[in-house]
Amino acid sequence: MELKKKFQQLRENDSPPLGNFIKWHFQQNKTKKKEVSDFLQVLPTTLNQYFKQSSFQFAILWRISQAVQHNFLMELGERLAIPYETKAEKELKNQLAENEKQIETLQTQLDLFKKIHKIE
């Protein structure tokens, strides 16, 4: 009989181990752990313990993101592979659609101008 609680049982599509994910980012970007631990107001050893955990509180991830000026939430969200469109992306799509309409109108006007002035 399995003694682990259901939420602790690993599944094939589970999230990457969060501590390892953060540690890898620190290594790749040569992040100074002392500065981050100071920002978090924890001991460097506590920060090192986070690296060993497969998950931790959302508030900790939020604060680490602020400390290193990197959006771990968005990066993890991209790995989730569930489509999501941000407000900024929606606004850009609307702006692009408006610009395309304007280009089409201008192209029509240009074609008419060429016909009037018999320009090839």
How far, CA to CA in Å, does 72 sit from each of 1, 30, 43, 76, 92? Answer: 37, 16, 21, 6, 23
The overall pTM is greater than 0.85: no
CA distance 51 to 53: 6
Which residue type, as a one-letter code, is found at position 14? Answer: D
In the CATH hierarchy, which top-level class contains the domain 15-83? Answer: mainly alpha
For residues 66 and 39, the answer to whether their CB atoms sit within 8 Å is yes
Per-residue pLDDT of the chain (120 residues; tens, 9 = 90+): 456 677 667 777 777 789 999 999 999 999 999 999 999 999 999 999 999 998 889 999 999 999 999 999 988 888 888 888 889 999 999 999 999 999 999 999 999 998 888 866
Structural domain spans, the chain: 15-83, 85-120
Indicate the angle between helix axes 72-80 and 18-28, nearest 10 degrees. 120
Number of helices (H) and strands (E) in the chain: give both, helices first: 6, 0
